[in-house]
Structure 1
């Protein structure tokens, strides 16, 4: 299922959400067009769990750069399908969460969710040497916040493989189903390397979603106004 719109009207322009999307695409274009050694680039700026845990144990043995990889990794992606899928979700859900939290609040919230997502995956698989890239952990946090803010919103969703068929799904059902899939696969992946079978860091999604769900209460969002019915954006 691919979300393409929702029924929630925003009251402010989503400057931060759009800036994140643009910055993410610019980094991706650099990856595919200008990075001379993409593997080295990923290992420098992606999260490598074993490297991060080693840094926390012995900070003097590593560059300070390692400490910033939970943020830099959010702007790296492994291919077109990866980045487009993530940015579609962020486009549909992020503007409404930014509207509720305010611009600076949303930026802080997004980064904290990304850090929490990294922490969850590293905690489950601390010895992995596989680089973790992508914004999906932070976006999972956005979904968690959206679920709290707008559970009765309606999401326009393309149903695979019949992309011409649009279903209108309640937010609590769509996001709840998405989270169940992440949790199910996360439990099933325990004992394997990070996303060994599919290349997906499932626990980053679970951790990011949980962080977004919980952090929202600390950010004291403005009371949202929710349009109920078919999506208009």
Structure 2
């Protein structure tokens, strides 16, 4: 649909968005470790081992919970640090790079990290319920970044964001228009699409989690729907 390039939205409460930087660096590092050869594609073994497979949760036993099955415990978060290829990774990290700093500014470093992880887990839960019993692993940070997008939209709907449309046309558009359109597209596709490649319901889950958590986790001095930025 579009790629975010830049927003002119100064930080107020933090000097440096080092959690955002750290998350991007961690995603890149994990991809370097898990990719195969020069093609940069994720090795299937990693997707199965660390991705979220709904079928595993649909068939688990109480004994597995008691024994602390590592897949049950880790995959609702570890999946968000795996990406199919470099384009998948860069697309997600572009949204985190442009919008993550201001959300981190509004929440604070520690709460932002917790927010990101909870959005990823909320996305995993909704995806799992919508695809119950599916053997296809869910991977990618798009659910977590959907929570970031929703948080930014609730905080700074009027800030102009430079986006790249169709891969070649740069335009400055208010966040309400471009991010609102992005969210509307996720809802539409989650209902109508039969494409198993894109996890539309994970995007919905991440966005809903972000909408619920932001008012609770933001700094008390930070207001929603800010008019300037």
Task: Give the 5 Å matches for 1:6-155.
Answer: 6-11=7-12, 12=14, 13-33=16-36, 38-55=43-60, 59-60=64-65, 63-155=69-161
Tell me the C-alpha RMSD between the 2 structures: 2.1
Contact 2:53/2:136 (<8 A) preserved: yes
- Aligned counterparts of 1:125 and 1:45: Cα–Cα separation in 2: 18
Q: Residues 114, 31 of structure 1: CA spacing in aligned structure 2 closer, same or farther, 3 A cutoff?
A: same
* 3-state secondary structure, aligned to 1:55: coil
TM-score of the superposition, structure 1-length normalised? Answer: 0.87
Q: How far is 1:10 from its partner?
A: 1.1
Write out per-residue CA displacement over residues 111-158 of structure 1, whole angstroms, 9 at most, x where no aligned residue. 000000000011111110001000000000001111111111110011
Contact 2:36/2:43 (<8 A) preserved: no
User: Aligned match of 1:200 in 198, 201, 207?
Assistant: 198
Q: How far is 1:62 from its partner?
A: 7.6
Q: How far is 1:65 from its partner?
A: 2.8
TM-score of the superposition, structure 2-length normalised? Answer: 0.89
- How many equivalent pairs are there? 219
Contact 2:83/2:89 (<8 A) preserved: yes
Instruction: Give the corresponding residue for 1:187.
Output: 191
Contact 2:156/2:228 (<8 A) preserved: no
Contact 1:9/1:227 (<8 A) preserved: no
Instruction: Give the corresponding residue for 2:174.
Output: 170
- Aligned counterparts of 1:90 and 1:124: Cα–Cα separation in 2: 25
Q: How far is 1:227 from its partner?
A: 4.8
**Structure 1 stretches lacking a partner, 5+ long:** 229-233
Greater RCO, 1 or 2 (C-alpha within 8 Å, sep 6+):
1
